[in-house]
Structure 1
Amino acid sequence: MTGLDDLTLGQRPDGRTALAARWIVGHHEGRHKLLEHAEIVFDGDRVIHVGAPFVGEVARRINLGDVLISPGFIDLDALSDLDTTLLTVDTGPGWATGRVWPQAYVDRGPYEMYTPDELAFQKRYAFAQLLRGGITTALPIASLFYREWGETVAEFEAAADAAAALGLRVWLGPAYRAGGMVCTAPGIVEPRFDEARGLQGLAAALDFAGRVGGSHRGLVQAMLSPDRIETCTLDLLRRTMAASAEMDLPVRLHMAQGKMERRTVQALHGTTGPQWLARHGLLHNRLIAPHAVEAEPEDLALYARHGVTIAHCPLVYARDGEMLRSFRRCRDMGINIGMGTDTAPADMVLNMAVALMMGRAAEGDDRGLTTAEVFNAATIGGANALRRPDLGRLQPGSKADIAIFDMADSFFAPRIDPVQTLVFGATGRVTKAVFVDGRLSMVDGRVAGMDMHAARLQAQAQFDRLLAKYPERAFGHPDLRTMFPPTFA
C-alpha cells in the first residue's frame, strides 16, 4: 500500500495505479453514478476500471479514505490573467473606471501594459490556480483592456509550454478583434473598427492552431477566439466560422453577455448578436457562447436549434446582481450548458454553488436547478461542448483526468451526500489532488515547478504595476483613489 506522497509530482506513474475511496463519481450508461467504497484504476493516460475493488494486478494501490473522487472539471471560460473585473465590483460605471478606452488614450496610442515575461507568468500562475481547484481542462480567457490590441502568438506559445509543464489540458487560441469600444464623452461609448488588423489576428491564430494543436501528446489543442461580437465584423466572423468547419476547431465568441453589447449590436445591425449570426448562417455546434445573461427568447431558441453551448459563469454576474434566466429554461430547450470561472477566485466549486442558488432564484423555488445538473454542466457539459466523450466522466476508456476532494475537511460537517456537500460547501480549496492524462499535476496545493507563495507575491506586484497605469486609460484620467475608493474611508 502506498500513498500520494510516494508518487512523483509532475509525472505519470508507471504501471497500473488503483485509487480506493469512500466515494467515486463513476459513469455508466450515459450518466454519472455515485459509487461507495469503490476503486478507480488507470494505466498510462486511460481509466481501465471504475467500480468494485479491482481484482487484477496493479503496480500500486492507494487507499485515499474519506474522499470524493470525481472527473476533473472542464472550464470553458477559464480565468488566465490577474483579474481586473474585481476592480469594478463596488465601482463603476465601466467607462469611468478604465474598462473602456477613452478617446485621449486612443489618440496617444494604446500599448501593452505588461511585458512579454509578465504575460507568460500570469498564464502559468492562473493555470496552477485552476489545477489547485480541481480543474483539469481549461479554455483560457483574459482581458484585452490592458492590451495594445489583441493577444499574441508568442504569449500563447508560452502558454502551451506552461500547460505542458504544469500538466493542464488546454484549448488555446489568441484572442483577435476587428474593433474596440471608445469613450468619447461621459457615458458615450462608440465602436471603432480596423478590420484589416482583425484579419491579421485571425491569420496568426490559424497559423498557431496548425502548429500547436495536438501538441504535447494531445494535452494542448487549438480553438478560435474572436473577442466579442460587438468588436467583430461580418467578414471576420465568416472567415472564422469557415476555418472552424475546415479545421474542426471550437470557436468561443462572447455574445448576449452585456447591455453595452446589446445597444452596440442593435445600432450596428438592427438586431441581437445571435440573431445577426443566424441571419448569415454562422451558428453551429462548435460554437461556445459565454454567459447568455442578455439572451432574448429567440436567441435561446437559435442556440437550441444550432447546437450552440452556453458557457455559464454565474459568479462574475451575480456580483453585479445579474443572472442567466434561466438554467432550467435553457436545459428544457435542449441547450447544452458548460461551466466557466471567468473571474477570481477561479473556483469551479464556488461557481457551481452560485449557479445553484441563482438558478433557483431565477425560477423562484428549489425546482429551478438541482445539484446534479450543475455538476453535470461542470463535467459532461464541457466535454460535450468540446465533442470529447473521453473527458468529463470516469469510465473505462476515458482519459485519466481525476480530481480528489477531501470530504473529511472540518468545514464539511455535518456531511450528507458527498456531491451535495461539496457543492454547497462552495469552495474548491478542499481539492486534495489532481491527475491529468494520468499524471499527478497537483497534490496538497503543490504544483510541479511552481513556488506558489513566491508566485502570489509576484502576481500582486505585477497587478499593482498595472493598476498604477489605470488613470492613463480612464476617461478624464482621475486618480486611483477617485476611481477605486476603499470600502471604508
Structure 2
Amino acid sequence: MTAEDKATLIRDVDWLLAYDSDLGSHSYRRGADVAFRGDRFVDPTTLAPEDIGQVIDGKGLMVSPGFIDIHAHPGYETMLKGLTEEVGSRKLYMSSLYEYLFLFDTTHEGMVAATEVALSELMQSGVTTICDLSTPHVGWIDTLAASGMRAYAAPMFREARWFTDNGHEVKYDWDEAAGERRMIAALAEVDAAIAHPCGRLGGMIVPAQIDTCSARMFKDSLVEARRRGIPIQTHASQSVVDFQEIMRRHGLTPIGWLEELGLLGPDMIVGHGIFLDHHDWIRWPDRRDLALLAETGTTVAHCPTVFARRGISLQNMGDYLRAGVNIGIGTDTYPHNFIEEMRTGIYTARVTARDIEGATARQMIEAATLGGAKALGRDDIGRIAPGAKADFFTVDLTHPSMRPLYDPLRSLIFSSGERAIRDVYVDGRQVVRNGAALAFDPEDATERLEAAQRASIAEVARYDWGGRPVEQLMPRLF
C-alpha cells in the first residue's frame, strides 16, 4: 500500500459534528476519531494500524462538515466593497437591483481577480461547495477548478434586461435572439465544467431572473437541466417589483407562475423567494406560495445579508421550515463570509418574527449543510459519515473568540466567525491551512481587484440614467 492509499486519522477530536442517520441530522460526539482515505470518509474502527498514514491530534479541535453555498456571484460582487452597502431605490421598494446593480462594468481581469478573492473568503469561512452564478468568461472554469473547491458552474442567461430611466419605473428591453445565444453559450460552459478532469465540478442551469426570461426559455431550461440530471435555479420573488410584474403579465405570483410552467420540484432552487404572497409588504389576499414550495420539494436559496442592508427580509426562515420548505444558504454579496451570512439570517428571522425562535442556530447549520446538499440532489456532502465526501473544516477551540466554551457551534456563529477556522479540506485535500486559503495569491488578487474597481467607478456616470458620478450616487461618509 502506497502512502497515497493510506487513510488520514484525526484522533480524539474534542468536538465532532457527525451525521446521525437515525436522526437524519447531525449530532455532537466528544473525544471521537474521524478518518478519510482519498476523497471519502471511512469508519475509523475498520482501519488496521498499517492502513493509517498521517495522524492528526484532534485535541483542542472541532471538526465540522463543510458548508454548502447554493447562491453566490463571486465574479463581480467583491468589487463593490465600500460602494453599494447603503444604496437602494426608495421609489422601487428599497431594492438596489434596477438603479444600481448595473452601474459597474468590469474587465475580464477584474472578474478573475474578484473570483479569486471571493473563493478564498468562502473557503476561509468553512465553505467547501459553491454554486457560482456568474457571467461566463475566459478561464472561469479553470479558476473554479484551481480553487480546490467543489464548485457548480451556474452561468446566467436571459432574454431581457431591466433598466430605469427615471428612478421610479422599471422597464424591460427584450432580445430573444440574443437570449438564445446566451443560453447556448451557457450550456457549453456547464458541459465543460461537468467534463473537467478535476472531478470536483458540476453544472447548474440558470435562466437569470423570473422577469427577464420567457415561458419558452424557462421550459427549454428545464429540459436541458433534466437531460443532464442537474439542478436549475432562477431569481424569483426577490423584489416587490418582480412580484408585481409577474402578476401584471400572468395574473399569478412568481411562485404560482413557476408552478404553472412545471418548474417547481426537487431540482429547482428559487433564488431568494422573499416576496411570497404572505409577505406583509405585498398585502396579498391568498396564501398558497409556501405550500406550493413545500409540496413540490422546491428549495429556497436564502441570502439574508444583501437584503438586510436595505431593510428587506424573508418573513421568516422559521416559518418556511415549519411549512416544510427546504432552505439552503447563499452569499449573494460581499464579504463572502458564510458564517456572517448565517448569523445575519438568524437575527433577521428573529426580528421579523418578533420571536426568539424565528430561527435557531441548529436550523441554520442544517440549512448550510444538509439543506444545501438536498438542493443539489446529493447525499454525499454536507455530512461527516463513512462513504461521504471528505469535505470538512477544523475549528481551533483554544482561540480566544471561542472561549469560554460551552457549545462550539454557537460560539462559532455568534462570537467567533471565521477567525477560529484553522484548516479546510475538500475531497480529502487541504485548501486552507492555518486560516489561509492556498490556491491563490491574496495580495496579488486584491491588487488586481482594486485596479478593476478604480477603472469601473470612473465610468459609473455612463451607465446611470441621470448621468450622475459615483461621488454623487455613493458619497463617502465624511
Instruction: Please report the TM-score for the alignment, with normalisation by the length of structure 1.
Output: 0.88
Q: Is contact 1:73-1:137 (8 Å) kept?
A: yes
Q: 1:194: how far off?
A: 0.8
The AA in structure 2 aligned to 1:129 is E
Q: 1:449: how far off?
A: 4.1
Matched, 1:117 2:98: no
Give the whole-Å Cα distance in 2 for the aligned partners of 1:184 and 1:356.
37
Which residue of 2 is the match for residue 18 of structure 1?
9
The AA in structure 1 aligned to 2:54 is R
Give the whole-Å Cα distance in 1 for the aligned partners of 2:384 and 2:187.
33
Q: Is contact 2:118-2:335 (8 Å) kept?
A: no
> Identity of aligned pairs, percent?
28
Give the whole-Å Cα distance in 1 for the aligned partners of 2:341 and 2:228.
32
Which residue of 2 is the match for residue 219 of structure 1?
200
Q: 1:184: how far off?
A: 2.8
Matched, 1:369 2:359: yes
Aligned to 2:63, which of 69, 73, 89? 69
Q: 1:225: how far off?
A: 1.3
Q: 1:337: how far off?
A: 0.5
The range that moved more, 17-26 or 386-395, is 17-26
Give the whole-Å Cα distance in 1 for the aligned partners of 2:272 and 2:122.
20
Give the whole-Å Cα distance in 2 for the aligned partners of 1:95 and 1:176.
27
Q: Is contact 2:8-2:54 (8 Å) kept?
A: yes
Q: Is contact 1:48-1:395 (8 Å) kept?
A: yes
C-alpha spacing 1:466/1:94, structure 2 compared with 1 (3 Å): farther
Number of residue-to-residue matches in the alignment: 458
Matched, 1:140 2:132: yes
C-alpha spacing 1:213/1:407, structure 2 compared with 1 (3 Å): same
Query: Residues 223-372 of structure 1: matches in 2 within 5 Å?
Result: 223-296=204-277, 297-372=287-362
Q: Is contact 1:26-1:70 (8 Å) kept?
A: yes
RMSD: 2.4
Q: Is contact 1:214-1:222 (8 Å) kept?
A: no
SS at match of 2:87: coil
C-alpha spacing 1:251/1:95, structure 2 compared with 1 (3 Å): farther
Give the whole-Å Cα distance in 2 for the aligned partners of 1:419 and 1:111.
39
Give the whole-Å Cα distance in 1 for the aligned partners of 2:300 and 2:96.
28
Q: 1:205: how far off?
A: 1.9
Q: Is contact 2:104-2:456 (8 Å) kept?
A: no
Q: Is contact 1:303-1:309 (8 Å) kept?
A: yes
Matched, 1:89 2:85: yes
C-alpha spacing 1:186/1:128, structure 2 compared with 1 (3 Å): closer
The AA in structure 1 aligned to 2:10 is L
Q: 1:173: how far off?
A: 2.6
Q: 1:474: how far off?
A: 0.8
Q: Is contact 1:98-1:473 (8 Å) kept?
A: no
Give the whole-Å Cα distance in 2 for the aligned partners of 1:288 and 1:171.
13
Q: Is contact 1:95-1:183 (8 Å) kept?
A: no
Q: 1:321: how far off?
A: 1.8
Matched, 1:177 2:158: yes
Q: 1:54: how far off?
A: 6.7
Q: Is contact 1:339-1:377 (8 Å) kept?
A: yes
Q: Is contact 1:82-1:459 (8 Å) kept?
A: no
Give the whole-Å Cα distance in 2 for the aligned partners of 1:354 and 1:315.
6
Give the whole-Å Cα distance in 2 for the aligned partners of 1:317 and 1:401.
29
C-alpha spacing 1:326/1:112, structure 2 compared with 1 (3 Å): closer
Give the whole-Å Cα distance in 2 for the aligned partners of 1:398 and 1:407.
25
Q: Is contact 1:223-1:249 (8 Å) kept?
A: yes
Q: 1:266: how far off?
A: 2.3
Give the whole-Å Cα distance in 1 for the aligned partners of 2:428 and 2:344.
30
The AA in structure 2 aligned to 1:90 is E
Q: 1:253: how far off?
A: 0.4
C-alpha spacing 1:383/1:287, structure 2 compared with 1 (3 Å): same
- Give 5+ residue unaligned stretches, structure 2: 278-286
Give the whole-Å Cα distance in 1 for the aligned partners of 2:90 and 2:6.
54
Matched, 1:378 2:368: yes
SS at match of 1:432: strand
Q: 1:211: how far off?
A: 3.3
The AA in structure 1 aligned to 2:40 is R
Which residue of 2 is the match for residue 34 of structure 1?
28
Q: Is contact 2:274-2:315 (8 Å) kept?
A: yes
Q: Is contact 1:18-1:58 (8 Å) kept?
A: yes
Give the whole-Å Cα distance in 1 for the aligned partners of 2:125 and 2:355.
29
Query: Over residues 99-141 of structure 1, what are the superposed CA-to-partner deviations in whole Å (9 max), with x where a residue is unaligned?
Result: 5479xxxxxxx99933323323322222222111110000013
Which residue of 2 is the match for residue 445 of structure 1?
435
Q: Is contact 1:95-1:475 (8 Å) kept?
A: no
Q: Is contact 1:257-1:295 (8 Å) kept?
A: no
The AA in structure 1 aligned to 2:161 is G
Give the whole-Å Cα distance in 2 for the aligned partners of 1:186 and 1:159.
34
Aligned to 1:43, which of 18, 26, 37? 37
Give the whole-Å Cα distance in 2 for the aligned partners of 1:254 and 1:481.
30
Q: 1:312: how far off?
A: 0.9
SS at match of 1:440: strand
Query: Over residues 312-350 of structure 1, what are the superposed CA-to-partner deviations in whole Å (9 max), with x where a residue is unaligned?
Result: 111112222221111121111111111111111111111
SS at match of 1:405: strand
Q: 1:469: how far off?
A: 1.4
Give the whole-Å Cα distance in 2 for the aligned partners of 1:197 and 1:127.
30
Give the whole-Å Cα distance in 2 for the aligned partners of 1:379 and 1:414.
26
Q: Is contact 1:82-1:463 (8 Å) kept?
A: no
Q: Is contact 1:13-1:439 (8 Å) kept?
A: no
Q: Is contact 2:113-2:446 (8 Å) kept?
A: no
